[in-house]
Structure 1
Amino acid sequence: MHSQSSESSVVLQGPRSCQKAVLRDQYEVLRDIGFGRFGKIKLASHRLTGVEVAIKVLQKKGQNLLVLSEPEMMRSLEHPYVIQLLQVAETHRNIYMVMEHAGGGRLLDHVPQGGMQEEEARRLFRQVVSAVSYCHHKGIMHRDLKPENIMVDARSHARLIDFGFSARFTPGQNLHQFWGTLSHFAPEIILRKAYEGPPVDIWSLGVILHFMLTGRYPFGGNTSKEVLSQITLATYSNPPYVSLAARMLIHQMLTLDPQKRPTAKQILQHPWMTHGKQDLPHDYSEPIPIRPDPEILTTMFDMGYDLRKTWVSLAKRKFNAAMATYLLLQHQKSQGAGCIFQEKPVPPRVKPRPHPVDLSHSLVLPKRSPSEPALSTFPLPCEPQLPEGARQAGQKHIRSASEPALHLHLQPAGASTPDVGPQPDSGQLNAHRRLLRWVDRRIATCVRELCCCTSRVSNKLAPM
């Protein structure tokens, strides 16, 4: 335990570094779990929820300029099979990316010698292609797809990670940067030809599927020259136990002409991919979140968070401490786990309430009846206005009247009030304390009424 605290202090604590102090207060670093060309990955525990997270530390050096765009890329990605970015903090030396931790290990370690069974390979490969299709739809190419950059989470779902080499692209635009891993290089990368983004990822997907089904890479050799020669000629072989449909799909992806390779969406429609039609991924484009979950907001209120600031953090996608806590609680709720926060508070100068909160026993919200109008035409109880800053953030999915404008800076329990004039007697003081407790209860009731009302509003909003 002592060594863990020591490591946390060394990594995240420093003079005149407010961001480091925030990270130190929010997370306890446990150990190193990964090393890359551009930084380290550390396992940490979120102090309030106890959820384990991964913290990627990127050093601001000249040779790292490319990968320093990774936080920007991940800010725009929200998909079930892409690892979730939770928080970003920056100092004059480093960038810290707090992300979900997929505890199941790398896909590389799940492929046995001789390859996986086709049913299991199909299930995981569907999820990987779904994530890649989503990224391409968002105008982002990964450029370093390989089994080492695909994690498996606790539910045995694939999670795409490491967007350090990713880049934005425009359809029809050619790129000229040549990055990636040798065994997964597309021929156009080796030949130093200008290339479009998505076909390069599709080639890498072909290499991944071949590896998943056979346990070895399609292009190998004793020297790098031999590997490059095989790639430029697309020379590889499939074992006879691989089904014909799978071999045909691999052949389509490992086509020399980039224009003849299928898109990620077309791969999802291939007969081998749709076989069984179980666990088929759906197109996913939902941002985080259109309207915050009132149960989670209630939990965060009990933790001591300012709900207005939390709401604005989500609307403007600030990826700060409040947003990270919300996303972690959301993850816990989706897993069916109760959300119990620890003793150490995160929000500065706000003391959390002393009792843990379990979302499984939270307030039961009323459901909208079929006859109820989709959008109320009358003011909701305690209904405030969205702050001017959030209205200017371009969040077209956020209704301006749905965000609480209450500043919930509650006085910590047991704190004394400032003296004004003569000191009241004990009876007056007790009455004053009862009044403060009544005000606190009224504020909490108002917040819960607001959450109940907003939950009854349809997600299909009328135009403003």
Structure 2
Amino acid sequence: MSAPGSCMRVGDYELGKTLGEGSFAKVKFARNTKTGDRVAIKILDKNHVLRHKMVEQIKMEISTMKLIKHPNVVQIHEVMASKTKIYIVLELVGGGELFDKIVSSGRLKEDEARSLRIYFLIYKEDGLLHTACGTPNYVAPEVISNKGYDGRTFDVWSCGVILYVLMAGYLPFDDPSTPALYGKILKGQFTCPSFFSSGAKKLIKRILEPNPHKRITIPEILENEWFRKGYKPPSFEHEEDVNLDDIDAIFNDSEEHLVTEKKERPESMNAFALISRSQGFNLGSLFEQEVGLVKRETCFTSQFPPNEIMSKIEEAAKPLGFNVRKHNYKMKLQGDKTGRKGHLSVATEVFEVAPSLHMVELRKTGGDTLEFHKFYKSFSSGLKDIVWKSEAITEEKEEAR
């Protein structure tokens, strides 16, 4: 078993904390050990990609991202592969998840929402896609009907949902019951808030058209009066100036094209890293926040050995109806009950801060955030024996009594 919190190095990059997790990929913070540059690395399981026949889709996504140079499009730096994984090195974009900002700060004004110009860069020129992917609330009707779909019209629908969320502050299609949610999506059953401008209402209704053949197309959106306000066309690199060789190389098992993955001795967290996580030192801090402020992760510190921390987490999770999977000093907790947004799942990881001090991060990777809060409130009571509290905090509590 590797050292607690040991860092993974892939090629020239040292991988850090997980920034996000989806159905098919995980995104981690990383640092280039030669240049010091901070990046985000999207990690895909190669066998999963091959098994679901997503090779051409992945190639198209990477190629398109390499060709587009635009301030609102995340830039891709390079692509690597090991024997089992594909690593896409991306520009690091700070600020957290957009939906969290909307929940905590409220909806955006129309000019702000329009300026984001969000578009998914995954499509196939010659035929229909058949892999159902994405969050149910954003999925187009043709995906639910399982008859195959054109990635371009599917993306138009998903961007329409995002635009609606940005301006309204909530989803156009939502229901605790997944079948009922799909029924609303299939019928295109939604209403626009009264504060939407007439131009925004007309565009969203044409985008969220359940019949993909009647849905507005990308060229038509580019000519739309509401959309064109302040529009800056993207600039494209000339194809001959962009190297696409590494895209084919990631599926080539020749040893010369593969990067090495190796665990290294854990680094002690520096002062900046500790300060950035300081609010998570106390288990109760998550619930001392303002009501309505949604958090998807938290952390605490412990002076107990990592093996005991792992055992205690497992003991606390199982009575709450969670299945536990362990790998090194990481754990996946999967709820056995279906909640408002599917099964609640939580990822935990133990980091070494010092030889006798460890930090444990808990992060929601699936399900409803409010359900995560309820789970954590019960879960935390089973961990109080291993949580470290500084003498200053203990003294303050004693004085308060």
Query: What range is the shorter-chain TM-score in?
Result: 0.5 to 0.7
* Secondary structure, aligned partner of 1:220: coil
CA RMSD for the aligned pairs? 2.8
Question: Partner of 1:49 in structure 2?
Answer: 35
- Cα contact 1:174–1:196 (8 A) shared by 2: yes
Question: Partner of 1:122 in structure 2?
Answer: 114
* Secondary structure, aligned partner of 1:258: coil
Candidates 213, 219, 234, aligned match of 2:173: 219
1:179-328 residue pairs with structure 2 within 5 A?
179-275=133-229, 278=230, 280-287=231-238, 290=241, 315=243, 317-318=245-246
Q: Distance in 2 between matches of 1:214 and 1:100?
A: 29
Which runs of 5 or more residues in structure 2 are unaligned? 250-401
Q: Distance in 2 between matches of 1:222 and 1:213?
A: 22
Q: Distance in 1 between matches of 2:163 and 2:134?
A: 17
Q: Distance in 2 between matches of 1:68 and 1:7?
A: 31
Post-superposition Cα deviations, 1:421-440, rounded to whole Å, max 9, x if no partner, equal: xxxxxxxxxxxxxxxxxxxx
1:34-433 residue pairs with structure 2 within 5 A?
34-62=20-48, 65-66=51-52, 72-77=59-64, 78-79=67-68, 80=70, 81-112=72-103, 115-124=107-116, 127-129=117-119, 132=120, 135=121, 140-141=122-123, 168-170=124-126, 173-275=127-229, 278=230, 280-287=231-238, 290=241, 315=243, 317-318=245-246
* Secondary structure, aligned partner of 2:42: strand
Deviation at 1:121, TM superposition (A): 0.8
User: Which protein is bigger by CA-based radius of gyration?
Assistant: 1
Query: 1:283 and 1:197, CA in 2 relative to 1: closer, same or farther beyond 3 A?
Result: same
- Cα contact 2:80–2:246 (8 A) shared by 1: no
Query: 1:318 and 1:185, CA in 2 relative to 1: closer, same or farther beyond 3 A?
Result: closer
Paired residues in the alignment total: 240
Q: Distance in 2 between matches of 1:316 and 1:121?
A: 33
Deviation at 1:99, TM superposition (A): 1.7
Which runs of 5 or more residues in structure 1 are unaligned? 13-19, 142-167, 291-313, 321-464
Which consecutive segments of 4 or more residues in structure 1 shift more than 6 A?
A: none
- Cα contact 1:206–1:254 (8 A) shared by 2: yes
Question: What is the TM-score normalised by the length of structure 2?
Answer: 0.53
Which has the higher relative contact order, 1 or 2, with Cα contacts under 8 A spaced 6 or more apart?
A: 2
Deviation at 1:223, TM superposition (A): 0.5
- Cα contact 1:202–1:253 (8 A) shared by 2: yes
Which amino acid is 2:147 matched to? K
- Cα contact 1:38–1:64 (8 A) shared by 2: no
Q: Distance in 2 between matches of 1:37 and 1:180?
A: 7
Deviation at 1:251, TM superposition (A): 0.4
Structure having the higher strand fraction is 2
Post-superposition Cα deviations, 1:244-290, rounded to whole Å, max 9, x if no partner, equal: 11111110011122122111232122121123xx3x22143324773
Question: What is the TM-score normalised by the length of structure 1?
Answer: 0.47
Query: 1:286 and 1:259, CA in 2 relative to 1: closer, same or farther beyond 3 A?
Result: same
Query: 1:194 and 1:62, CA in 2 relative to 1: closer, same or farther beyond 3 A?
Result: closer
Identity of aligned residues (%): 30
Q: Distance in 2 between matches of 1:83 and 1:36?
A: 17
Query: 1:240 and 1:184, CA in 2 relative to 1: closer, same or farther beyond 3 A?
Result: same
Q: Distance in 2 between matches of 1:192 and 1:94?
A: 29
- Cα contact 2:173–2:181 (8 A) shared by 1: yes
Q: Distance in 1 between matches of 2:125 and 2:240?
A: 26
